[in-house]
């Protein structure tokens, strides 16, 4: 009898949880994102959109690490969100090819308001645009201003100065860099690919490697790897187990003077945890005689779901994202370090963010070297960079591996 | 045995019963087991920088801010309620269905019975994630997105292979005289299940319950896929909100997960009573 | 988990009139299991014969298996992860389960005080989410953050990048996992030991057996079915383990794949796709699982035969 009542209770409890049937309501769209960090900000700018149009959009972020996997499953199953953050190049393009992302080429503003370099990240092989460009990121050196002032040090102008600066810090008992290799991505994406535009140059040169006209064991690459190897000498003790999120802590605790990371980290450094840290940022300097470049990477765009029940509203929203007014509202709500790509004067409110954006001036800008066509280089590159840092291989040998991998990709 | 010998044995028995080496062993392990838990708790009372500057030490400044943030931010109690409902309903059903099946399969020893048993056991050998695509389709067909029902079904199905595996062997190991006696008394099989088998397999039920408790409570994958609605989220899914793309709010994660461990410990205590009770009451005679 | 079966019934037990009736007891579980587990899983195994990720899939026969075993890159990863998983398994089998048995023997001693307390403490690590254990251990194993404290305690020799070194990372991760989960076999052994007849133990005591003899000649043989069960559960769960690697060493099994397990390999290929592309190959993932499934069967069937279910 007791068991029976328990069962009854369970059944009742379960019945209470049944989804209540939803009646017709005003249009409500859902938005998928990997930026769970920005949930509050997103609610802010989506609320502004609602004020303007009456369309409600619910922000439903997924943990970043799981975003690709879960989004794909949901799209495949026809349960994906109406709108979603789209990664640039191959990752986004694959979802467009599979028929999940709308073609947004004809959405008003897309073709008119963005530079070719921004659209490039979300342009499929057939020439169609599959997402409205929103934010770009850059890769810079953060430094502890107090440590620099204590030793009377200056921000370096050339890569040679940078190495000398590291040596000087080391001689004075400071740990120059906080970077590590434990996470298997930042050493490539932020450090090496951040350095690379200083050696390779911009998109005009990059495409020569993508076509095979230039080999990745040429002088340019060997030089870049040699410089990387010299820099790697200044990584901290135990860099093998130092992860990306450990670096700002090292800077704030005064245990390291600098670290190389993405502009997005400015947002974290402006937070409550780092309020006592006096920090600045400078561009990864080019070696003597090279034209300075900067990795200014197309980070995220906004895509529409082809299977949405409200295509009109989705397109209207995308047009707003592609308009100067919409872009301004979105950009201002972004955490520091995410920069608008639209051709419009948008003044960011945060001084640090403006400073980092200003580092782009006069430099050749390009997306991360491997993203457009050579993404299969990613893993071999990480492996070689890790091996160089650990002293297990030489820059020359690593360049040979690069060239071999490049040849493999071109053969496909 | 002479009286003298008996006396000597009595004295040494007293010392023997103090179990000094056993206590030394257990205390050593308690230290090992507790140390990271100590780290979790003390660090949940610190700010981020204090964690990095000395992860081992007591906080120089105790702050309950992490806990306050957790409790005030989001639907904290809703997440816990959801997690508890999911765990309790799933475990109850796993134990009910599993023990019935275990009872059946322990007696159904023919070729087909063994085949069915093995079919269940096979379910332990594949990663459940492999089934995600089809499970999503099923949930779509049954319209169970953003409903805790989706989690019940998956977790019950997920727990059954282990439940059937353990409970079948356990029931099979029970002395048959027990049934025979009941049967001669004219008891029906369902009565035997309820009044003879169930009480005897309580320790095994507790084992199965505890074995499934932790993975269900701490599962992230299925809530991540089935649940997007705020009021249906589980505790672990709520944790992911604190994990950003590049930086995770670890102090707050510590606080949330310290709180999240409490219901699990309580559930564990209530279930483990089953076999501790068995211990003192005297075991089944074989 | 009483293994001694009564064999004294010459006639067929009247409780066993054949399969027909028993199916009604099994059916509810069977339906649930078939619908929400067996069908989705077996159907996904079928995926190992297809390629493509989303939308249209192409039948490719055994190509995924051929790739798994002959493509130099994929097969190197597969065998690497396979070997690592055995190391991981060895730690759990030889350390976790032996410790679990030792603890259980101590904890089932009726005259010992504080058993419940000890057992609860042993279980507490199980209740902590793996992402947190992973992060905590990463923190205390990091030379930069734990180094100063350790050095001040004269433990400078312990300041090493344990998780960054290919030679030590897998061992450290295995030990952390053993630490976390030892409560589970302990609990199962406790449940098994308490079912050993008290008369038997008293008889042994009267016969003058010391505790080692009692353990080795009485408890251990009677525990064999439980040992078999725990061995199987350890085996299958280790071959699907993945969280701890994800939390402590990235899904790539860093450094240099030295901590890559079958579970993380499957996750990378079958579910998430490799960073940063993130395009999974469910066909290859399914092929990995199916191959491992076949190997697990080879390991599990004899263990089942040897330790339980004897008629």
Assembly ipTM: 0.86
Confidence of residue C66 (pLDDT cuts 50, 70, 90): very high
- CB-based burial label for B74 (10 Å; 0-12, 13-18, 19+): middle
Q: Is the pLDDT of residue B256 over 50?
A: yes
| Minimum-distance CB partner of A184 among C55, C147, C254 | C254
Radius of gyration of chain C (CA): 24
Topology of the domain covering A138-296+360-411:
D-Maltodextrin-Binding Protein; domain 2 (3.40.190)
Chain B window 135-154: which residues touch C at a Cβ cutoff of 8 Å? 135, 138, 153-154
- State the Cα–Cα distance between residues A260 and A141, nearest whole angstrom: 4
Each residue of B169-217: pLDDT tens digit? 888 878 777 777 777 777 788 888 888 888 888 888 998 999 999 899 9
Rounded distance between C-alpha atoms, residue A302 and residue A300, angstroms: 7
| Chain C contact set for B133 (CB, 8 A) | 40, 44, 47, 282
C84-139, pLDDT tens digit by residue? 999 999 999 999 999 999 999 998 887 788 888 998 999 999 999 998 899 999 99
Please judge whether B89 and A10 are an interchain contact, meaning their C-beta atoms are less than 8 angstroms apart. Answer: yes
Judged against a pLDDT cut of 50, whether residue B246 lies above it is answered with yes
Q: Tell me the pLDDT tens digit for each residue of A357-399.
A: 999 999 999 999 999 999 999 999 999 999 999 999 999 999 9
**Is C279 in contact with A91 (Cβ distance < 8 A)?**
yes
Residue C10 has pLDDT above 60, yes or no: no
Mean pLDDT of chain B: 84
Q: What is the dihedral of CA C243, C245, C248, C253, to 10 degrees?
A: -150
Q: Nearest-CA distance from B204 to chain C in Å? A: 7
Which pLDDT value is given to residue C6?
39
Q: Are A337 and A356 in contact (CB under 8 A)?
A: yes
CATH topology of domain A27-136+297-358: D-Maltodextrin-Binding Protein; domain 2 (3.40.190)
The residue extents of the domains of chain A are 27-136+297-358, 138-296+360-411
Q: What is the mean pLDDT of residues A154-158?
A: 96
Which pLDDT score, from 0 to 100, does residue C7 have? 38
How does residue B249 score in pLDDT terms, banded at 50, 70 and 90? confident
* Cα atoms in the Cβ-side hemisphere of radius 13 Å centred on A338: 21
Model pLDDT for residues B75-130, shown as the tens digit of each residue: 888 999 999 999 999 999 999 999 999 999 988 878 888 899 989 998 888 888 88
Q: How far apart are CA C71 and CA C174, in angstroms?
A: 29
A215 close to A406: Cβ distance less than 8 angstroms:
yes
CA distance A247 to chain B (A): 11
pLDDT number for residue B163? 95
Q: Quote the pLDDT of residue C311.
A: 40
Q: Is the pLDDT of residue C209 over 90?
A: no
Percent above pLDDT 70 for chain A: 94
Q: How many domains does chain C have?
A: 1
Q: Which residue has the tokens 């559960």?
A: C233
Q: For a pLDDT cut of 70, what percent of chain C falls above it?
A: 91
pLDDT band at B280 (very low <50, low <70, confident <90, very high): very low
Interface test with B, best of A2, A19, A20 (most B CBs within 10 A): A19
Q: Report the pLDDT value the prediction gives residue A337, as an integer from 0 to 100.
A: 93
pLDDT greater at residue A91 or residue B95: B95
Which pair of structure tokens corresponds to residue A409?
A: 């990709």
Residue B133 pLDDT level (bands cut at 50, 70, 90)? confident
Interface check A106 vs B, CB under 8 A: no
What's the pLDDT at A9?
52
CA distance B237 to chain A (A): 9
At residue C18, the pLDDT reads 52
At B10, is the pLDDT very low, low, confident or very high (cuts 50, 70, 90)?
A: low
pLDDT at A167 (0 to 100)? 97
A182 closest CB neighbour out of C160, C163, C280:
C163
**pLDDT higher than 80, residue C73:** yes
Minimum mean pLDDT among A79-88, A168-177, B182-191, B237-246: which range?
Answer: B182-191
Are the CB atoms for A293 and A286 separated by under 8 Å?
Answer: yes
Distance from CA of B199 to the nearest CA of C (A): 13
Chain B contacts in chain A segment 47-66 (CB below 8 A)? 60-66
pLDDT band at A4 (very low <50, low <70, confident <90, very high): low
Selected residue with higher pLDDT from A22 and B26 = B26
Domain holding C72, by residue range, is 58-307
Residues A401, A218: Cα–Cα separation, whole Å = 12
Q: Are C164 and A184 a contacting pair at CB < 8 A?
A: no
Confidence of residue B4 (pLDDT cuts 50, 70, 90): low
C54 in B contact zone (CB under 8 Å): no
Query: Which residues lie below 8 Å from residue B81, measured CB to CB, with a gap of 6+?
Result: none
Q: Which own/partner contact pairs does C263-268 have at CB distance under 8 Å and 24+ positions apart?
A: C263/B127, C263/C85, C263/C239, C264/C81, C265/C77, C265/C78, C265/C81, C266/B127, C266/B129, C266/B130, C266/C242, C266/C292, C267/B129, C267/C242
User: What percent of chain B clears pLDDT 70, i.e. is strictly above it?
Assistant: 90
Q: Give the residue carrying structure tokens 């029906």.
A: B188
| Confidence category of residue C3, pLDDT binned at 50, 70, 90 | very low
Q: Which of C162, C164, C249, C258 to mutate to test the interface with A (most CBs of A within 10 A)?
A: C164
pLDDT at C201: 83
Confidence band, pLDDT 50/70/90 cuts, at residue A11: low
Helix (H, G, I), strand (E, B) or coil at A364: strand
Q: Do B136 and A79 touch (CB under 8 A)?
A: yes
Closest approach of A50 to chain B, Cα-based (Å)? 20
The pairing of beta strand A339-340 with beta strand C50-51? unpaired
Which one is predicted more confidently, B259 or C196? B259
Q: B229 CA to chain C: closest CA distance, Å? A: 22
Q: Which of B26-30, B270-274, C305-309 has the highest mean pLDDT?
A: B26-30
Among B64-73, C9-18, C147-156, name the one with the lowest average pLDDT: C9-18
Tokens of C23: 């199916």
Of the candidate ranges A154-158, B144-148, C1-5, C25-29, the one whose mean pLDDT is the lowest = C1-5
Q: Is the dihedral of CA A351, A352, A357, A359 positive or negative?
A: positive
- Mean pLDDT across B132-155: 89
The residue-averaged pLDDT of A79-106 equals 92
Closest CA to C106 of C171, C168, C172, C190: C190
Pick the closest to residue C276 from B28, A295, B182, A378 (CA basis): A378
Give the CATH number of the domain where residue C249 resides: 1.10.3720.10
With respect to residue C40, please indicate whether it lies within any of the assigned structural domains: no
Nearest CB to B149; choose among A17, A273, A274: A17
Helix (H, G, I), strand (E, B) or coil at C15: coil
CA distance B154 to B136: 10
Contact C40 B138 (CB under 8 A): yes
Is the pLDDT at A8 greater than 70? The verdict is no
- pLDDT at position A23 is 44
Is C257 within the bounds of a domain?
A: yes
E strands in chain C: 50-51, 58-59
Query: How far is the alpha carbon of A69 from chain C, nearest alpha carbon, in Å?
Result: 5
Nearest Cβ partner of A183 from C144, C160, C250? Answer: C250
Mean of all residue pLDDT scores within chain A = 91
Asked whether residue C16 is domain-assigned, the answer is: no
Interface of B with A in 257-286 (CB under 8 A): none
> Residue C7 falls within a domain, yes or no?
no
Confidence band, pLDDT 50/70/90 cuts, at residue A73: confident
pLDDT-wise least confident of A95-109, C114-128, C296-310: C296-310
A238 in contact with C, Cβ within 8 Å: yes
Question: Mean per-residue pLDDT for B237-253?
Answer: 83
Evaluate whether residue C42 is within a structural domain.
Answer: no
- Give the model's confidence band at C8: pLDDT under 50 very low, under 70 low, under 90 confident, else very high: very low
- When mean pLDDT is compared across A229-238, A307-316, C246-255, the lowest value belongs to C246-255
């Amino acid at each position: 009898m007791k068991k029976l009542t328990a069962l009854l209770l369970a059944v009742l409890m379960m019945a209470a949880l049944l989804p209540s049937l939803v009646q017709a309501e005003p249009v409500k769209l859902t938005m998928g994102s990997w930026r769970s960090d920005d949930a509050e900000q997103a609610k802010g700018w989506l609320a502004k959109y609602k004020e303007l149009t009456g369309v409600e959009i619910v922000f439903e972020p997924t943990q970043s690490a799981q975003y690709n996997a879960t989004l794909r499953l949901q799209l495949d199953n026809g349960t994906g969100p109406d709108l979603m953050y789209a990664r640039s190049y191959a990752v986004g393009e694959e979802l467009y090819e599979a028929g999940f992302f709308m073609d947004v080429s004809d959405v008003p503003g897309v073709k008119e308001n963005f530079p070719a370099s921004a659209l490039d990240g979300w342009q499929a092989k057939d020439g169609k645009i599959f997402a409205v460009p929103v934010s770009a990121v850059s890769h810079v050196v953060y430094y502890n201003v107090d440590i620099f002032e204590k030793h009377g040090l200056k921000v370096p102008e050339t890569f040679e100065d940078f190495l000398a600066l590291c040596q000087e810090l080391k001689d004075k008992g400071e740990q120059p860099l906080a970077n590590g290799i434990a996470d298997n991505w930042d050493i490539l994406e932020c450090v090496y690919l951040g350095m690379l535009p200083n050696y390779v140059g911009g998109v005009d040169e990059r495409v020569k490697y993508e076509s095979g006209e230039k080999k990745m064991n040429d002088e340019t690459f060997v030089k870049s790897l040699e410089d990387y190897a010299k820099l790697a000498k200044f990584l901290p003790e135990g860099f093998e187990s130092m992860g990306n999120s450990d670096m700002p802590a090292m800077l704030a605790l005064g245990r390291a003077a600098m670290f190389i990371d993405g502009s997005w980290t400015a947002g974290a450094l402006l937070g409550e945890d780092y309020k006592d840290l006096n920090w600045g940022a400078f561009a990864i300097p080019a070696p003597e005689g090279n034209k300075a470049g900067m990795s200014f990477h197309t980070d995220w765009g906004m895509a529409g779901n082809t299977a949405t029940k409200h295509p009109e509203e989705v397109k209207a929203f995308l047009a707003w994202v592609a308009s100067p007014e919409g872009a301004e509202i979105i950009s201002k709500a972004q955490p520091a370090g995410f920069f608008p790509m639209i051709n419009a004067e948008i003044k960011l409110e945060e001084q640090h963010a403006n400073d980092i954006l200003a580092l782009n001036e006069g430099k050749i800008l390009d997306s991360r070297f491997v993203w457009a066509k050579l993404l299969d280089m990613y893993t071999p590159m990480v492996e070689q960079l890790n091996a160089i840092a650990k002293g297990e291989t030489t820059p020359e040998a690593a360049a040979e591996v690069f060239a071999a991998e490049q040849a493999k990709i071109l053969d496909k | 045995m002479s009286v003298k010998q008996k006396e000597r044995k009595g004295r040494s028995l007293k010392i023997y019963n103090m179990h000094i080496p056993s206590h030394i062993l257990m205390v050593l392990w308690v230290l090992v087991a507790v140390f990271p838990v100590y780290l979790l708790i003390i660090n949940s009372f610190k700010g981020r920088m204090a964690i990095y500057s000395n992860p081992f030490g007591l906080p120089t400044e105790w702050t309950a801010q992490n806990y306050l943030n957790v409790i005030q931010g989001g639907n904290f109690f809703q997440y816990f309620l959801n997690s508890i409902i999911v765990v309790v309903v799933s475990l109850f059903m796993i134990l009910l269905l599993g023990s019935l099946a275990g009872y059946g399969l322990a007696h159904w020893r023919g070729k087909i019975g063994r085949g069915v048993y093995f079919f269940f056991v096979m379910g332990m050998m594949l990663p459940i994630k492999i089934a995600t695509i089809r499970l999503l389709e099923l949930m779509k067909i049954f319209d169970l997105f953003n409903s805790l029902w989706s989690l019940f079904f998956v977790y019950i199905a997920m727990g059954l292979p282990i439940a059937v595996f353990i409970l079948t062997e356990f029931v099979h190991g029970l002395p048959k005289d027990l049934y025979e006696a009941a049967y001669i008394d004219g008891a029906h099989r369902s009565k035997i299940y309820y009044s003879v088998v169930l009480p005897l397999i309580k320790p095994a039920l507790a084992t199965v319950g505890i074995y499934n408790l932790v993975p269900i409570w701490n599962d992230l994958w299925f809530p991540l896929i089935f649940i997007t609605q705020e009021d249906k989220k589980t505790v672990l899914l709520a944790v992911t909100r604190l994990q950003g793309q590049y930086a995770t709010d670890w102090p707050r994660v510590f606080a949330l997960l310290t709180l999240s461990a409490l219901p699990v410990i309580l559930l564990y205590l209530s279930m483990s009573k089953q076999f501790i009770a068995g211990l003192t009451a005297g075991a089944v005679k074989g | 988990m009483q293994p001694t079966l009564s064999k004294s019934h010459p006639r067929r037990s009247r409780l066993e009139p054949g399969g027909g009736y028993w199916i009604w007891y099994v059916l509810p579980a069977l339906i649930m299991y078939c619908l929400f587990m067996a069908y989705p899983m077996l159907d996904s195994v079928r995926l190992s014969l297809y390629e493509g990720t989303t939308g249209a899939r192409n039948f490719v026969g055994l190509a995924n298996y051929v790739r798994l075993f002959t493509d130099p890159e994929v097969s190197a990863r597969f065998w690497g992860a396979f070997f690592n998983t055995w190391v991981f398994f060895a730690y759990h089998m030889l350390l976790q389960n032996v410790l679990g048995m030792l603890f259980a023997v101590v904890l089932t001693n009726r005259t010992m005080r504080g058993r419940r307390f000890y057992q609860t403490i042993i279980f507490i690590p199980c209740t902590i989410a793996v992402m947190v254990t992973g992060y905590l251990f990463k923190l205390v194993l990091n030379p930069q953050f734990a180094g100063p404290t350790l050095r001040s305690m004269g433990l400078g020799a312990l300041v090493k990048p344990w998780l960054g070194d290919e030679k030590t990372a897998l061992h450290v991760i295995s030990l952390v996992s053993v630490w976390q989960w030892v409560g589970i076999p302990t609990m199962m052994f406790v449940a098994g030991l308490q079912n050993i007849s008290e008369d038997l133990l008293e008889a042994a005591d009267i016969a003058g057996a010391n505790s080692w003899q009692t353990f080795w000649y009485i408890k251990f043989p009677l525990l064999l079915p439980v040992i078999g069960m725990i061995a199987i559960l350890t085996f299958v769960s280790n071959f699907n383990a993945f969280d701890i690697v994800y939390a402590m060493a990235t899904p790539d099994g860093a450094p240099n794949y030295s901590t890559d397990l079958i579970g993380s390999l499957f996750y990378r290929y079958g579910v998430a796709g490799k960073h940063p592309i993130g395009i999974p190959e469910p066909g290859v993932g399914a092929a990995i699982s199916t191959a491992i499934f076949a190997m697990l069967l080879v390991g599990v069937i004899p263990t089942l035969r040897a330790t339980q279910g004897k008629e």
